[in-house]
Amino acid sequence: MSVLIWCDLGPGLGAGHLMRCIALAEELVSRGRAVHFLTDAASVPFARAQLERREMTWEQPPPDLAGQLAAVARHRPGTVVVDSYVLPVAAYDALGTSYRVAAFVDAGARGRPADVVIDPTLGAEADAAVGPDRLLGIAHALIRDEVLAHRPSDVETHVEGDPPRVVVFSGGTDAHGAAPPLAGAVLGAGLPVHLTVVAARPELRAQLDALVPGPGQGIEVIDPTSELPALIARSDLVVSAAGTSSAELLCLGAAAALVQVADNQADTYRRAVEAGLVAPLGTLADLRGDPASARSIVRDLLDGGDVEGGADGSGARRRLRRAAWAVVDGRGRARIADRL
């Protein structure tokens, strides 16, 4: 039977919901299931391109809930997957009267009613009762094909760059404008580096273009690209936001330093830091108010000094890569598809 995926997407909502739903769709299509998206792809050209190059069909949600439910009904799906922080509980209740509903319930969607409950965030299994239709924890992280294609078989084979190669990005839309202060923290560390920064929006590119590299530093500002997983796999350090894309960083075995850009990322951020999977840069408000701490963390990761008090930045990055790679195996989407 067909599956309809109804997910958040937009300049202010980000693209993380869509990206993990694309991973699930790829798995379902590989099993012969028909998949259709109900999402605002028209508002994010990069996201729309992600759907279209996979030949995945989509339509724009009508502005009101009645129209949205009617759009679902026209496709007569067997299962509806909902990944939203903004849809009201009434939408889930209405869907539940006619369809099998699978709902992502992390962060802003906690408590939503569904036949299958999905929370693929780190430590989620500790927050709620575990059952056959409660798919909780990082073992259910959804990873896209283009990320899986660059997952290393062994992180010990990583070859360090000289100077270190750093990638900065903050999701498909960078709704909170994190890329400029993150890039500033990397350059502000004052060490030689080759920095690649993703500018998700034109106004962010203007801010990034205004940054002045120091001695031995180079910066390249690029548009959102499907080549990002390859860039991350080759990088020595990734500086990013603690959103849904952090699972992809873990799967790639990236040495990552993360900043919390939204309140709903607090639990995931804290757990990742406590587990030693990422280096902590604090909140985006902290970074903007006083970047000195973030610069110090980045400096330790790039050169002589360790965020845990050791002696070598490359050693700190190596430990982060090992820990990250071990915790996300890339098979989370298959575990979810098995229940759909």
Q: State the chain's maximal CA–CA distance in angstroms.
A: 63
- Give 307's DSSP letter: T
Which residues belong to CATH 3.40.50.11190 in the chain? 3-119
Q: Prior bond to 291 cis, omega within 30?
A: no
Q: Determine whether 242 is exposed, middle or buried from the number of CB atoms within 10 Å of its CB (0-12, 13-18, 19+).
A: buried
- What was the pLDDT predicted at 100? 96
Per-residue pLDDT for 327 more than 60? Answer: yes
Q: Determine whether 130 is exposed, middle or buried from the number of CB atoms within 10 Å of its CB (0-12, 13-18, 19+).
A: exposed
- What was the pLDDT predicted at 127? 66
Per-residue pLDDT for 307 more than 50? Answer: no
Q: Determine whether 97 is exposed, middle or buried from the number of CB atoms within 10 Å of its CB (0-12, 13-18, 19+).
A: exposed
**Residue 129: band (very low, low, confident or very high) from pLDDT cuts 50, 70, 90:** low
- What was the pLDDT predicted at 131? 59
pLDDT digits (tens, 9 = 90+) for 29-72: 999 999 999 999 999 999 999 999 999 999 999 999 999 999 99
| Rounded CA separation 307/222 (Å) | 29
3-state secondary structure of 205: helix
| Rounded CA separation 171/19 (Å) | 10
pLDDT digits (tens, 9 = 90+) for 68-117: 999 999 999 999 999 999 999 999 999 999 999 999 998 766 778 899 99
Residues written for the chain: 340
Residue 149, number of CB atoms within 10 A of its CB: 10
Which residues belong to CATH 3.40.50.2000 in the chain? 147-327
pLDDT digits (tens, 9 = 90+) for 208-222: 999 999 999 999 999
Q: Which one-letter amino acid corresponds to residue 334? A: A
Mean pLDDT of the region 11-19: 91
- What was the pLDDT predicted at 305? 41
Question: Domain 147-327 is classified in which CATH homologous superfamily?
Answer: Glycogen Phosphorylase B; (3.40.50.2000)
Greater confidence (155 vs 220) lies with 220
| Torsion angles phi and psi, residue 48, rounded to 5 | -60, -40
Q: Which CATH architecture has domain 3-119?
A: 3-Layer(aba) Sandwich (3.40)
